Structure 1
Amino acid sequence: MTTCGEFLVKQLEAWGVDTVFGIPGVHTVELYRGLPSSGIRHITPRHEQGAGFMADGYARVSGKPGVCFIITGPGMTNILTAMGQAYADSIPMLVISSVNERARLGLGKGYLHELPNQRALTAGVTAFSHTLMSVEELPGVLARAFAVFEGERPRPVHIELPLDIITADATHMTPAPRPTVRRPAPNRTLIREAAGLLKQAERPLLLLGGGCVAAEAEARALAAALDVPTALTINAKGLLPPGHPLLLGSNQSLRPVRDLALEADVVLAIGTELGETDYDVVFDGDFRLPGRLIRIDIDAQQLQRNFTPHLAIQGDARVAMRMLLAEFNPREVEPGSPGAKRTAAVQARLHEDFSGWAHYRQLFDCILDALPDARFVGDSTQTVYSGNHLVELDGARRWFNASTGYGTLGYGLPAAIGAKLAEPTRPVISLMGDGGIQFTIAELASAVEARVGIIVLLWNNAGYGEIKRYMQRRDITPIAVDIYTPDLLAIARGFGCAAERARDHVHLAELLRGAPHDRPLIIEVQEAAPFHP
């Protein structure tokens, strides 16, 4: 007999799933029956939150949904934080969980792992949640999930299988062909109206968000065709390369870029929420767009959030850019063009603002000199906050972190593991703080077990340094932020990792170039002992 659990594995494999993150339990062992005979790789985290973060990092790099097998009850409550981060950043994630037998659902009799309603728990962090009530439903529900991932704004989907369904007979089932789903194309009339506004603009501005990461070539061509200063959200870094004459960076919260936004007569925003964590990290509400705003987004509701547009266009970012490009003559970027001059003036002011950040710039220059093709996966920590402003990379999907949207701690380590599994040939650097890494430090064991050679750059300020400064700026006596910090290097070595404290930039570069390929390397940088070139 082929069980439903075995059939599920076959169906996932037929649709291109090659990796599953999960922790087996008595309620999910039947999901694992079919894995050994499949081509799917299983990665075992040490906590379900780690499973979700790994799936998130895997999805951001691969463009495919990250898939998790999760037990009933505590497995679901543990993974919710990771689902919240993925939901906030529009990341495709398929969470497949068990649930008690159909006849026992919602009875409150104290069955193992019982919750009143798992689907209610996931309602705020999923596109949808579904309880499978028959084996025959499975292909259709999976097709719905992949329609979310590939045809609309991607977000987590939760499918729960009752214990009696997991073991039900599915011998009569054959894997269904993968559905073909395409995101909607924008309305051509509205695209032409947008093109007309942009042609008449004297001071245009382009804002690109994470919804554009699959349209790198189109983004570069559009910025050049419009000759327009271009700001990128954190998840959009790399759409324009370092030194590009039209690149403003991810500095929308800083005064020079805000002044440019105030004077812009037409603003084109594509694939961006225009949300607080990209446009107002100083939390003063002073990012404003008084000019005519054109918004393009896959999500019709998002088109009306935060900033009301003059022209709202629903559709896929890549298709929309191609349609817009058809309305303009192609051109190369010219350093002396009006758009480049406007950008250069802003960059000169930003350079003055960054004059006190030289030690962070030297740190990232050292890293990129040693590993120029590195990918950075970050937590909420000082190196991430500074790098969000300072670092520019040639290529999308090379810089992402948990400082945006949901803003959880502990993300950077497991998400880096997922990123490395998705593209093993590229160096992956996890930017962590000593506080954040303690949330998910057990995932070092997962990385050693999976032979994943990531690099963890551990910024150690012996506590929650950023929150302490936040308190002090508000005349709050610091409390609960100077936490006990263990010997993190000794702990890392105990897990089987390589671990060193970098003395200076030369030593850091040596450590980076000599990082092992089959296990993590933790490099500690102490804030109290800043580097010297």
Structure 2
Amino acid sequence: MTHDHDLVLRPTAAQTQAALDPPAGRNGGDLVVETLTGLGATTVFGLPGQHALGMFDALSRSSLRYVGLRVENNAGFAADAYGRITGEAAPLLLSTGPGALTSLAALQEAAAASAPVLAISSQIPTAGLGGGRHGYLHELPDQQASFRGIVKSVHTVRTQSQIPSAIAAAWKSALTAPHGPVWVEIPQDVLLAGTDLPVVTAVDATPEDLAPRPELTAVAADLLSKAARPAIIAGGGVVRADAAGKLLQLAERLQAPVVTTFGGKGAFPWEHPLSLQSWLEDRHTTDFLEDADVLLVVGSGLGELSSNYHTFKPRGRVIQIEADLGKLESNHPALGVHADARLALQALLETVGERTDPTAAERVRAVLDKVAERIGSQELALEQQVLASVRRALPDDSPSFWDMTILAYWAWSAFDARGANTMHSAQGAGGLGYGFPAALGAAVADPTRPVLAVSGDGGALYSIAELAAARQHDLNVTWLIVDDGGYGILREYMTDAFGRPTATELSRPDYVALAESFGVPGVRTSPETLEEDLAKALATPGPSVVLLPAVLRMFAPTHLG
């Protein structure tokens, strides 16, 4: 009998020859890029630094495409988006100390959004580690400790022979559900030293399947089949697992209304008769979900935004399918199913009974009508006009990346993503500066489609340096900057809470002139000309900036009453 664990990868004749006769001049950095190539990577992001030069030198001898950004945090955002779009682990090459630490906010967003990023950092020479000689440039007392609370897993290398296995283990970790960022650390001397190890040719890092336990899905299927008023909340886990098709099948079989979270945008067709869309910050939606006798939550931890700021109190039975064990039943008691969304939905499809409910679509329409009536009563025509113009200008299959700005907050609730894995924002961790560098990563992943980035003027200043990267790599990204003279959403929050804003007003550049100084065309638009100007920019190859001077307002919250 042959067992799976008895199987051994056998090298081809060409691989054997390469192993026996490695090219001259290789170092530890070559082992890094050879391993990445063997795992299937084609593109790496990052920034060089003194201790990491061995990796970057090796790139010149590899087939990997290097996309360099100007700030490590932005390189991390680009890798995050590349991982979301491709479903592959996106390598992010970093230097020691300040370079590594500057990526932390991006890795936090990747962790919150389950984006597979493979961060590989240098470290000071091994002689200085563990209480040896200190005083190295960029040295941290414990570099790994800065990342351990953020990434999925930490992998340390201290010798060259450890490099392939450590990177392969990290790759597997990043792509095993739930996806997420991982951290590999390699000392400078290990990267620089010449190596006589054979060329890395065969690397196995197949992600593990996270299948549901059958007794749990059997109970879940029985509850859903017998429910009188079932409903579904679809989160980002549905998108990451590429499970939108299975979600649609299940919802139609159960005649269950579906609301998508802000991280799950596009997981369910916006105009479907069962679609409650994404109005999670509306009490009408919250009331509807609370009234469900069986609520299926797929790929969401029901955190702050998805629970209408923790005002959501379900009265029925909750079934939660979640790949992240720490999020299972973390906010509400449930029948917790620890599983990848795709595999769990497939198991439900194989066992759930078919329901008929002639009132489901009518109840959905009634909720949406109430939402529209509430928004319509608040004199928000400008905001709705701007968002509608963006939707009409953006091709249906083009991805969009949204910074933490008022227009993005509108888009979370009101924007039709028109497909899974097309609308992304920084709502996972909530840091500024995500939109533009993430859009650059998406354009690298798929250069055949124009990509839209949306920022406010405050967030734009976080990533303005990446206009240089956009131009250098000639990436098809149109950057819409909504200029309201400051941190607009913070201005609203402070005015509501204290009667006046403090520290929210900004001096800012002429964004059009600044873009043009980078060789990137820019245009100043208005709400009336936005659709035309944005569509033209998106249809023109290469990077561009569209500046919209406008003061937008948020719709009134309804989680307070």
Does TM, scored on the shorter chain, surpass 0.5?
yes
How far is 1:377 from its partner? 0.2
Distance 1:181 1:85 in 2: 22
* CA displacement, residues 283-340 of structure 1 (integer Å, 9 cap, x when unaligned): 4x3111121111111122321211121x111111101111111123679xx9x83221
| Aligned-partner residue type, residue 86 of structure 1 | A
* CA displacement, residues 36-64 of structure 1 (integer Å, 9 cap, x when unaligned): 23221111111111111111111111111
Whether the 8 Å CA contact 1:127–1:156 is kept in 2: the answer is yes
Structure 2 counterpart of 1:36: 60
Are 1:437 and 2:464 matched, yes or no? no
Structure 1 counterpart of 2:256: 228
Whether the 8 Å CA contact 1:463–1:483 is kept in 2: the answer is yes
Q: Runs of 4 or more off by more than 6 Å in structure 1? A: none
2:315 to 279, 290, 302: 290
Structure 1 counterpart of 2:218: 192
**More deviation in 448-457 or 128-137?**
128-137
1:345 to 353, 366, 373: 366
Distance 1:345 1:416 in 2: 36
How far is 1:239 from its partner? 1.6
Unaligned runs of 5+ in 1: none
How far is 1:518 from its partner? 4.4
Distance 2:531 2:273 in 1: 31
Are 1:382 and 2:410 matched, yes or no? no
Distance 2:527 2:373 in 1: 26
| Aligned-partner residue type, residue 292 of structure 1 | R
* CA displacement, residues 261-302 of structure 1 (integer Å, 9 cap, x when unaligned): 22111111111111112332xx4x311112111111112232
Structure 2 counterpart of 1:307: 332
Are 1:238 and 2:266 matched, yes or no? yes
Structure 2 counterpart of 1:51: 75
SS in 2 for 1:236: coil
Scaled by the length of structure 1, the TM-score of the pair is: 0.94
Whether the 8 Å CA contact 2:225–2:354 is kept in 1: the answer is no
Distance 1:197 1:503 in 2: 52
Structure 2 counterpart of 1:414: 437
Structure 1 counterpart of 2:177: 152
Whether the 8 Å CA contact 1:207–1:269 is kept in 2: the answer is yes
* CA displacement, residues 472-499 of structure 1 (integer Å, 9 cap, x when unaligned): 1112432111121221221111111111
Are 1:393 and 2:426 matched, yes or no? no
**More deviation in 78-87 or 298-307?**
298-307
* CA displacement, residues 146-198 of structure 1 (integer Å, 9 cap, x when unaligned): 22222232221111111121123443233333332232211112111111111
Whether the 8 Å CA contact 1:235–1:397 is kept in 2: the answer is no
1:316 to 340, 361, 364: 340
How far is 1:354 from its partner? 2.2
* CA displacement, residues 479-531 of structure 1 (integer Å, 9 cap, x when unaligned): 1111212212211111111111113434531442244654321111111599x
Distance 1:9-1:504 versus aligned 2 partners, 3 A rule: same
**More deviation in 418-427 or 376-385?**
418-427
Distance 1:195 1:380 in 2: 38
Are 1:116 and 2:163 matched, yes or no? no
1:449 to 472, 476, 485: 472
SS in 2 for 1:474: helix
| Aligned-partner residue type, residue 206 of structure 1 | I
Structure 1 counterpart of 2:393: 370
Distance 1:361 1:330 in 2: 38
Whether the 8 Å CA contact 1:448–1:518 is kept in 2: the answer is no
Whether the 8 Å CA contact 1:221–1:330 is kept in 2: the answer is no
* CA displacement, residues 333-360 of structure 1 (integer Å, 9 cap, x when unaligned): x9x8322122111111111122143333
Are 1:69 and 2:93 matched, yes or no? yes
How far is 1:93 from its partner? 0.8
SS in 1 for 2:505: coil
Distance 2:255 2:75 in 1: 43
* CA displacement, residues 91-129 of structure 1 (integer Å, 9 cap, x when unaligned): 111111111111112547321111111101111111122
Distance 1:489-1:510 versus aligned 2 partners, 3 A rule: closer
Structure 1 counterpart of 2:558: none
Distance 1:509-1:321 versus aligned 2 partners, 3 A rule: same
Whether the 8 Å CA contact 1:458–1:522 is kept in 2: the answer is yes
| Aligned-partner residue type, residue 293 of structure 1 | V
**More deviation in 111-120 or 474-483?**
474-483
Are 1:513 and 2:536 matched, yes or no? yes
Whether the 8 Å CA contact 1:371–1:513 is kept in 2: the answer is no
Distance 2:359 2:539 in 1: 48
* CA displacement, residues 207-241 of structure 1 (integer Å, 9 cap, x when unaligned): 11111111121011111111111111112111222
Are 1:179 and 2:200 matched, yes or no? no
SS in 1 for 2:121: strand
How far is 1:366 from its partner? 2.3
Distance 1:484-1:289 versus aligned 2 partners, 3 A rule: same
Whether the 8 Å CA contact 2:33–2:59 is kept in 1: the answer is yes
Whether the 8 Å CA contact 1:212–1:317 is kept in 2: the answer is yes
SS in 2 for 1:267: strand
**More deviation in 105-114 or 196-205?**
105-114
Q: Give % identity.
A: 34
Distance 2:248 2:532 in 1: 32
Distance 1:453-1:372 versus aligned 2 partners, 3 A rule: closer
SS in 1 for 2:289: helix
Structure 2 counterpart of 1:100: 124
Are 1:256 and 2:277 matched, yes or no? no
Are 1:135 and 2:160 matched, yes or no? yes
SS in 2 for 1:380: coil
SS in 2 for 1:287: coil
How far is 1:441 from its partner? 0.7
How far is 1:432 from its partner? 0.2
Whether the 8 Å CA contact 1:377–1:412 is kept in 2: the answer is yes
Are 1:498 and 2:533 matched, yes or no? no
Are 1:219 and 2:240 matched, yes or no? no
